[in-house]
Amino acid sequence: MPDSLQELDGLLLSVPKNWVVQRDGIHFQGQRYLAPTLAPFVGHTITIRYDPRDISEIRIYDRETFICTAIDEAHPNLRLSLRDTETARRASRKKLRHAINDRIPTVANREEPRTPEPTKRRPKLRTYAEDE
């Protein structure tokens, strides 16, 4: 049994994933997570754990040692689940695909049919009578 509630929470989180800390934070699932204590770990591989029901924050570990909790700065007070994020992405892709597919026939109809230009005949090379 874990000694503290924080350790118990860590065990209940998802499977750990290795990630590299960038200069502007950790990029995970299309979000950027920041924490001031990540500065010394820039360029290092760390382990993240997260709750799929709430990906507004992730927990950072270095060699099984808890470092900090990083927060998604774009949605600090919102509780977003991984399923909600994936659903929103799928809907956005579908909407974009429909918009592109709706425009393709319009653009294709606007183009005038191309007729091949007649090839210009080049004059034959003149030869001397002795060469024949």
CATH number at residue 66: 2.30.30
Average pLDDT, the chain: 77
C-alpha to C-alpha distance for 12 and 23, rounded to whole angstroms: 29
| CA 67 to chain CA centroid, nearest Å | 25
User: Does 43 fall in a domain?
Assistant: yes
Residue 34 lies in domain: 5-72
The DSSP bridge partners found for residue 115 are none
> pLDDT, tens digit, for every residue of 20-54?
888 888 888 888 888 888 888 888 899 888 887 77
pLDDT of residue 78: 67
pLDDT of residue 2: 56
User: Does 88 fall in a domain?
Assistant: no
User: Does 27 fall in a domain?
Assistant: yes
Q: Do the Cβ atoms of 71 and 33 come closer than 8 Å?
A: yes
> pLDDT, tens digit, for every residue of 90-113?
888 999 998 888 877 765 566 566
- If one counts the domains in the chain, the total is 1
Q: For residue 31, what are the contacts with CB-CB under 8 A and spacing of at least 6?
A: 55, 72, 74, 75, 85
